[in-house]
């Protein structure tokens, strides 16, 4: 029996095309023959996307391949305006648009002949961890949710990140909004420090994580629009967490997360209803992708197997 395969696809979503990979699990010869006449070989589905300003090549291929090894069809894609996905305003991150795109990707994947549309799961990390919560709360096609180090409250994150500069940050948002209304180009911010410009994320672990994209992904651009930060400050996926139930929810939380703060995640988990599970990992926000990836993968895989497999 051969291993899982990976195909490249252009996925229509809300007027553009998203760049995605479709992983298909290996099938025994008997199941492959049955698939030509029945749906016997249709696999449960996991739809995956990355976090703020990140692209699929940034460590998520390892997660997707492991899920496919466990028997799942997996769709891993880049958000609009990033990677090879379409979108005219590069570096713009609108969480509501990303959530709507995610629901279109689910629709596209459910129509694939290799997929069982009755067994659909969503996996999201960081910013997309918030998307997984939002979609799990509103879209009953989704039967299982994994949210890894998820965004819970954009407002609380802004307060902690901006600190005494809060009023200056909000003034910059307002100035950018007025300039864009006048037809001027949007202002941009670095994601991490580069060429003397400060980034949104200034920690050493963030610098190491995002800078890996220059090696792993072709043409990753270290910038996002300022409006992306404004929209992030207004994004509150944690408000919906009690509505995910009865869909099973796994939250993977890092013990010392300062990007999507640990205390916000744990408080949100307490508000979530059953069935739910918490996987608490050592380290900071970026460790589940690297240092503790094996544990993060295993927890998510086992949750999907339990509820979709």
Superfamily assignment of 5-163+233-308 in CATH? Answer: Alpha/Beta hydrolase fold, catalytic domain (3.40.50.1820)
Confidence grade of residue 167 (pLDDT, cut at 50, 70, 90): very high
Of 1, 203, 35, nearest to 116 by C-alpha is: 35
Confidence grade of residue 140 (pLDDT, cut at 50, 70, 90): very high
Q: What pLDDT, in 10s, does the model give residues 290-306?
A: 999 999 999 999 999 99
Position 138 pLDDT exceeds 60:
yes
Of 155, 53, 156, nearest to 98 by C-alpha is: 53
Task: Name the token pair of 137.
Answer: 């709360």
Report the first-to-last Cα separation within the chain, whole angstroms: 19
Place of tokens 């994580």: 209
Q: What pLDDT, in 10s, does the model give residues 16-62?
A: 999 999 999 997 654 444 444 445 579 999 999 999 999 999 999 99
The rounded percent of the chain whose pLDDT value lies above 70 is: 95
pLDDT of residue 2: 76
Confidence grade of residue 233 (pLDDT, cut at 50, 70, 90): very high
Place of tokens 């996991």: 46
pLDDT of residue 41: 77
Q: What pLDDT, in 10s, does the model give residues 174-231?
A: 999 999 999 999 999 999 999 999 999 999 999 999 999 999 998 899 999 999 999 9
Position 1 pLDDT exceeds 70:
no
Q: What pLDDT, in 10s, does the model give residues 248-297?
A: 999 999 999 999 999 999 999 999 999 999 999 999 999 999 999 999 99
pLDDT of residue 37: 40
pLDDT of residue 38: 42
Name the strand (E) or helix (H) holding 206. Answer: helix 204-211
Residues 109-133: what's their mean pLDDT?
A: 98
Entry pTM: 0.95
Q: At what angle do helices 166-181 and 226-233 cross, to 10 degrees?
A: 120
Listed by start position, the domains of the chain span 5-163+233-308
Task: Name, in order, each residue with C-beta under 8 angstroms of 281's C-beta and a sequence gap of 6 or more.
Answer: 252, 253, 254, 255, 287, 288, 292, 295, 296
Name the strand (E) or helix (H) holding 95. Answer: helix 95-110
Name the strand (E) or helix (H) holding 60. Answer: helix 60-69
CA atoms within 13 Å, Cβ hemisphere of 120: 22
């Amino acid at each position: 029996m051969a291993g899982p395969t990976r195909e490249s696809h252009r996925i229509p979503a809300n007027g553009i095309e998203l760049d995605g990979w479709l992983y298909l699990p290996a099938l025994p010869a008997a199941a492959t023959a049955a698939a030509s006449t029945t749906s016997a070989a249709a696999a449960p589905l996991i739809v995956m996307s990355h976090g703020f300003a990140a692209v699929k090549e940034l460590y998520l291929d390892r997660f997707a391949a492991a899920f496919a090894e466990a028997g799942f069809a997996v769709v891993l894609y880049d958000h609009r305006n990033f990677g090879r996905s379409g979108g005219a305003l590069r570096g713009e991150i609108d969480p509501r648009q990303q959530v709507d795109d995610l629901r279109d990707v689910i629709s596209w994947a459910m129509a694939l002949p290799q997929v069982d549309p009755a067994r659909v799961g969503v996996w999201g990390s960081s910013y997309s961890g918030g998307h997984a919560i939002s979609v799990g709360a509103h879209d009953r096609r989704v039967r299982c949710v994994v949210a890894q180090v998820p965004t819970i409250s954009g407002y609380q994150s802004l307060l902690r990140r901006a600190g005494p500069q809060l009023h200056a940050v909000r003034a910059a948002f307002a100035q950018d909004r007025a300039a864009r209304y006048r037809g001027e180009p949007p202002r941009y911010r670095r994601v991490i420090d580069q060429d003397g410009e400060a980034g949104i994320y200034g920690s050493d672990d963030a610098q190491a994580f995002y800078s890996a994209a220059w090696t792993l992904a072709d043409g990753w651009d270290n910038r996002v629009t300022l409006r992306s930060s404004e929209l992030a400050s207004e994004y509150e996926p944690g408000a919906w967490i009690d509505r995910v139930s009865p869909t099973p929810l796994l939250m993977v939380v890092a013990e010392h997360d300062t990007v999507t703060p640990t205390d916000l995640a744990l408080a949100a988990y307490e508000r979530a209803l059953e069935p739910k599970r918490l996987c608490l990992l050592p380290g900071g926000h970026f460790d589940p992708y690297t240092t503790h990836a094996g544990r993060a993968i295993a927890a998510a895989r086992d949750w999907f197997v339990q509820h979709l497999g």
